[in-house]
Amino acid sequence: MANNLKDNEFDVIIVGGGITGAGTARDCSLRGLRVLLIERNDIADGATGRNHGLLHSGARYAVKDSESATECIKENMILRNIARNCVEDTQGLFITLPEDAETGFGLDYQKKFIDACIAAGISAKAIDPKDAIRMEPSVNPTLIGAVQVPDGSVDPFRLCSANVLDAKLHGAKVITYTEVTEFVKEDNTIKGVKVHNKKTGEDAVYYAPVTVNAAGIWGHSIAEMAGVHVGMYPAKGALLVFGHRVNNVVINRCRKSADGDILVPGDTVTVIGTTSTKVPFEECDNMSVTREEVELLLREGCALCPSLANTRILRAYAGVRPLVASDDDPTGRSISRGIVCLDHETRDGIKGFITITGGKLMTYRLMAEWATDAVCRKLAVAEQCKTAVTPLPGSEPKDQYSEVKIPQFAGANLGMKASIGRQGSMVRKIDFTNAEDRELVCECEQVTVGEIRYAVNELGVTSLRDLRRRTRVGMGTCQGAFCIGKAAAALAAALGKPEMADQLAADYLNERWKGMSAVGWGDTLREMEYLQRVYKSSNESK
């Protein structure tokens, strides 16, 4: 919008590179604003990267919170069109088990559920349990009722990355691993931010007439720093990742939302979640999953899909829901996951500062739209939101696998096709013309050297953990045991810093180890032993 801005001057500064911040950065830049996005770690590092990856139909909220349900189904339909490489139309089932009838969630409740779905605009239809088993053979065969809804799965890393990429393509500046240390505040106006880059150690100051706080649960302290109070509380949610796809249809329990009642097939794996526990703010940066949580998730998961009892678990992880405290419910479940957009000028008398919070992954685009509308009002910009109809980079072709053409080579590997699944039509930017680029690095997730180079060049990757979020490198069965040496070397080379390889590998493996430890038995324990042997011996031989 504004012309003649200096390098450190922007129309809007967005704090937080999760899906909300990324979406807001995209919306603002599509509306012609000059945008700075600041993230203290990597994009999608917080709650964005630590959830089910469920493309909610909204059915889960239909009975209790029809507003959220309506928002969900609308956004669901939008994402299917604008983010084709990030979502998969798996469909979903809400099943009723014999024991649900005893707790008041029998087939009477199912009827109520369907009515509520239809009222919210969600196409929900009861299907015969036999048809449900045919549709999803892994489902608990004792089910007495099933409802089919338009659930799907969404890759939150990819979605976040696509939003950031599109923002960048529209001129946004994105800086990661950079913390806001202080606001530049004059009288009661936020004029900019002082930041500290954790990687380079450099400090800088950026100015903009509006700053958006989109930092998720960390937005609590960002708000405090700006001199306003947003009552948020962190609700931890733990999840388990199974080694491969157990189900190809999302399975939910048709009852009041509870722990461990959603099973989502996401990319090559299946995820069960979640729990909901209030945790202190200090824990948000270092979440771990307890044995009790693992047991609970496994028990509830087996009710949805009995074969989970004998399925290898790759790892456990936890995220923090950024809930806006509206009462003191200890579980956090009675809170509407509604969107909260606060203009601190009208609310607190602090000018140039907006907080966008609450909401959920599913409604990130709508949250971004609200936040951007608020920004535009402050800047007196009349541009309308276009994010609901403008495809994200990579999303264009309808049938990704058949319409995205890749060059054909003798010995073409699965990696080239898997790259289409991840990057959509952006795969055209990956060089497959020479054998080195076609070389597989991560064999479980089929990541090639070419895709790593693309991620470094276009997607702002600086570490293996960043690379994992863009490409799934090291997320598969071996959790890096087999591939991370190769991946570290390929990444270090792509970054032009070959001497970094060992450090990149060590950082990554320590993070994987933590997630595996929580489920360290059986084949996962064998994998951990194998991993330890490989890297201990390679370390000792140096």
State the Cα–Cα distance between residues 22 and 467, nearest whole angstrom: 17
Least distance CB 80 / other proteins (angstroms): 17
Least distance CB 99 / other proteins (angstroms): 21
Q: Which residues pair with 434 in a beta bridge?
A: none
Which amino acid makes up residue 177? Y
Q: Is residue 414 a contact partner of residue 439, using CB atoms and an 8 Å limit? A: no
236-275 residues near other proteins, rule: CB under 8 A = 243-245, 248, 265, 267-268
60, 64, 65, 68: CA torsion to nearest 10: 0
Q: Candidates 100-108, 408-416, 495-503, 505-513: pick the segment binding other proteins (CB under 8 A).
A: 408-416
Q: Candidates 192-200, 413-421, 448-456, 459-467: pick the segment binding other proteins (CB under 8 A).
A: 413-421
Q: Closest Cα to residue 56, out of 326, 324, 274, 369?
A: 274
Q: Candidates 63-71, 253-261, 271-279, 526-534: pick the segment binding other proteins (CB under 8 A).
A: 526-534
Q: Is 398 in the site for other proteins (CB under 8 A)?
A: no
Binding test (CB under 8 A) with other proteins, winner from 109, 177, 482, 508:
482
Tokens matching residue 465: 């953990």
300-329 residues near other proteins, rule: CB under 8 A = 307, 309-313
Least distance CB 527 / other proteins (angstroms): 6
Nearer to other proteins, 164 or 487 (CB): 487
State the Cα–Cα distance between residues 34 and 479, nearest whole angstrom: 39
Q: How far from 413 is each of 107, 295, 422, 451, CA to CA, in Å?
A: 48, 39, 15, 13
Least distance CB 279 / other proteins (angstroms): 23
Q: Which helix or strand (DSSP H or E) is residue 266 part of?
A: strand 262-266
* Size of interface with other proteins, in residues (CB under 8 A): 40
- Residue at token pair 């324990």: 525
Q: Is 292 in the site for other proteins (CB under 8 A)?
A: no
Q: Closest Cα to residue 40, out of 179, 147, 162?
A: 179
Least distance CB 447 / other proteins (angstroms): 12
DSSP symbol at 363? G
14-53 residues near other proteins, rule: CB under 8 A = none
Q: Which residues pair with 184 in a beta bridge?
A: 192
- Residue at token pair 């951990």: 528
Q: Is 384 in the site for other proteins (CB under 8 A)?
A: no
**How many angstroms from the chain centroid is the CA of residue 476?**
17
Q: Is residue 33 a contact partner of residue 11, using CB atoms and an 8 Å limit? A: yes
State the Cα–Cα distance between residues 296 and 319, nearest whole angstrom: 17
Nearer to other proteins, 340 or 404 (CB): 404
Q: Is 523 in the site for other proteins (CB under 8 A)?
A: yes
Q: Candidates 126-134, 353-361, 378-386, 407-415: pick the segment binding other proteins (CB under 8 A).
A: 407-415
Nearer to other proteins, 280 or 411 (CB): 411
Nearer to other proteins, 197 or 307 (CB): 307
Given the rule CB under 8 A, which residues bind other proteins? 243-245, 248, 265, 267-268, 294-295, 298, 307, 309-313, 401, 410-411, 413-414, 417-418, 421, 440, 443-444, 446, 476-478, 481-483, 521-523, 526-527, 530
